[in-house]
Amino acid sequence: MNNNTRSIRGMHDYLPKELIGWNTVECALKKILLSYNYFEIRLPILEKTVLFQKTIGNITDIMQKEMYSFYDKNNNSLTLRPEATSSCVRAVIQHNLLYHQTPRLWYYGPMFRYERPQKGRYRQFYQFGIEVFGLSEPNIELELILLITRFWNILGISDLLTLEINSIGSIQARIKYQMVLQKFFNKHRSYLDQTSLLQLDKNPIRILDSKNKNIQKLLINAPRLSNYIDSKTMLNFHHLCKLMDHFKIKYVINHHLIRGIDYYNNTVFEWKTNHLGAQNTICAGGRYDTLVQQLGGTVTPAIGLAIGMDRLLLLMQTLFMFSQDNNIIADICIFFSHPSVKLLALSLSEEIRNIMTKLKILLEFQPVQLLKIFRNLKKYSCRIILFLELEEIQKNLIYLIDLKNKCKRKIFKISIIQELSAIFYSI
């Protein structure tokens, strides 16, 4: 294939076999969100660039290096969304969803960042996001943590993830802390890399998020943000910890945990794994109590999180929880031996779909001989094969091959629904 027409670097196709695992995970999470009474919101992929300039922070990597921005024909600067919290806040303000309400919302879709592609990090990536507005107590923080913990338990990956939490305080507390950090890092400038030196003058808290091993060692002796946070904020944080203890949720307090976006305040959290190398954060979030007001709304407490679906599925595939080597599974495969039987096979497939609505049925449109089917049974990843053979169908008989029980028999066409019901719906 000509390189000019191949997919863009860092943006890849998701193939049918791969999406079997994706669909399983998506359905599991949607069921949980429904049980917690969270509602879906669908947001545009394109937003005005100024939205992200106002919310994300000018010193962040996203704003400085990673945005996909361009000018349209009217000379408006537009951006492919790098995250969706800003879009969600914009939407709830624009459509008056905050008026005497405390919306609990979720969304799912692609985000875009111009990063160096590597395992678990892509330029187009998928996030499942949850946002809650109007609730300021630690109880809603606990609810989100319980919700996601339930999700990990259903997927069977709880033991592979560590919940790290921290309180990063208010903007005022972080301003005081920045001054202390600047003094500390200025004494150890030789340990800082080029990126950290750039952050030192403008936003030294960003250095806490560095993956540089020398800087991580330096951070062991760095001043702690918790020493500069007001007592009420710390009281709420400790209350959250007690609530998690009550529900036996395992967690680690990481005093150097911050988020890569400036709108966060107070409680922040991340679920990390040791099985994916550098790109180890699977889910992250926190409070952003000033963002609604920042975008022109009223003062509204808010909290949210996002699950990196690419990394989550990569984790599960790495640990062989999903195999991509299997053929796509159908419940029933229908074959016929002669072109004159094709219309009858098509009618049969539609009849079964009309009555047995939850079954997946694959109709093969090319004639095939029964002997060839038997030679290639391993090729068909299904429970039942129905074969319409020309001579037998004239007697109203159909071959039913049960691959699970390894048996074959002829049945009358009129009794096909009854036979299939006994196979698929019997207790």
Structural contact between residues 86 and 47, judged by C-beta atoms closer than 8 angstroms:
yes
Q: How confident is the model over 343-360, as a mean pLDDT?
A: 96
Please say if the pLDDT value at position 61 is more than 70.
no
Q: For the domain covering 16-170+229-319, report its CATH number.
A: 3.30.930.10
102 marked as part of a ligand binding site: no
Please say if the pLDDT value at position 322 is more than 70.
no
Rounded CA-CA distance 391/163 in Å is: 64
DSSP conformation letters of 202-225 = H-GGGGGG---HHHHHHHTTSPPG
**Which residue ranges does the chain devote to CATH 3.30.930.10?**
16-170+229-319
114 marked as part of a ligand binding site: no
CA distance readout (Å), 84 to 70, 91, 184: 18, 10, 35
Binning the chain into helix, strand and coil, the percentages to the nearest 5 are 45, 20, 35
Please say if the pLDDT value at position 154 is more than 90.
yes
Q: Is 70 helix (H, G, I), strand (E, B) or coil?
A: strand
Rounded CA-CA distance 166/270 in Å is: 9
Q: How confident is the model over 197-226, as a mean pLDDT?
A: 84
Q: How confident is the model over 89-117, as a mean pLDDT?
A: 94
Confidence band, pLDDT 50/70/90 cuts, at residue 134: very high
In this structure, of 104-108, 160-164, 223-227, 264-268, the range with the lowest mean pLDDT score is 223-227
The DSSP bridge partners found for residue 335 are 387
- 116-122: which pairs have CB atoms within 8 A and are 24 or more residues apart? 117/9, 117/10, 118/278, 118/279, 119/276, 119/277, 119/279, 119/314, 120/276, 120/277, 120/278, 120/279, 120/308, 120/310, 120/311, 120/314, 121/279, 122/10, 122/11, 122/12, 122/310
Structural contact between residues 78 and 69, judged by C-beta atoms closer than 8 angstroms:
yes
263 marked as part of a ligand binding site: yes
In this prediction, residue 8 carries a pLDDT of 87
Rounded CA-CA distance 311/154 in Å is: 17
In this prediction, residue 291 carries a pLDDT of 95
Q: How confident is the model over 346-351, as a mean pLDDT?
A: 97
264 marked as part of a ligand binding site: yes
Residue, of 196 and 300, whose pLDDT is higher: 300
In this prediction, residue 62 carries a pLDDT of 63
Which residues of 330-414 form beta strands (DSSP E)?
330-336, 361-363, 382-388, 397-402, 407-412
Rounded CA-CA distance 256/220 in Å is: 9
CA 134 to chain centre: 24
Residue, of 387 and 194, whose pLDDT is higher: 387
Structural contact between residues 220 and 213, judged by C-beta atoms closer than 8 angstroms:
no
Residue, of 372 and 250, whose pLDDT is higher: 250
**330-425, CATH topology level:** Rossmann fold (3.40.50)
What does the DSSP 8-state code read for residue 280? -
Please say if the pLDDT value at position 380 is more than 90.
no
pLDDT digits (tens, 9 = 90+) for 188-198: 888 888 888 88
Length of the chain: 427
Q: Is 299 helix (H, G, I), strand (E, B) or coil?
A: coil
Please say if the pLDDT value at position 301 is more than 90.
yes
127 marked as part of a ligand binding site: yes
Share above pLDDT 90 across residues of the chain, in percent, rounded to a whole number = 63
85 marked as part of a ligand binding site: yes
In this prediction, residue 219 carries a pLDDT of 86
Please say if the pLDDT value at position 299 is more than 90.
yes
Rounded to the nearest integer, the mean pLDDT of the chain is 90
Rounded CA-CA distance 204/208 in Å is: 8
Q: How confident is the model over 73-98, as a mean pLDDT?
A: 96
Please say if the pLDDT value at position 346 is more than 60.
yes
**Which residue ranges does the chain devote to CATH 3.40.50.800?**
330-425
pLDDT digits (tens, 9 = 90+) for 251-270: 999 988 888 778 899 999 99
Helices (H), 286-331: 291-294, 309-318
270 marked as part of a ligand binding site: no
Quick check: pTM over 0.75?
yes
Structural contact between residues 261 and 59, judged by C-beta atoms closer than 8 angstroms:
no
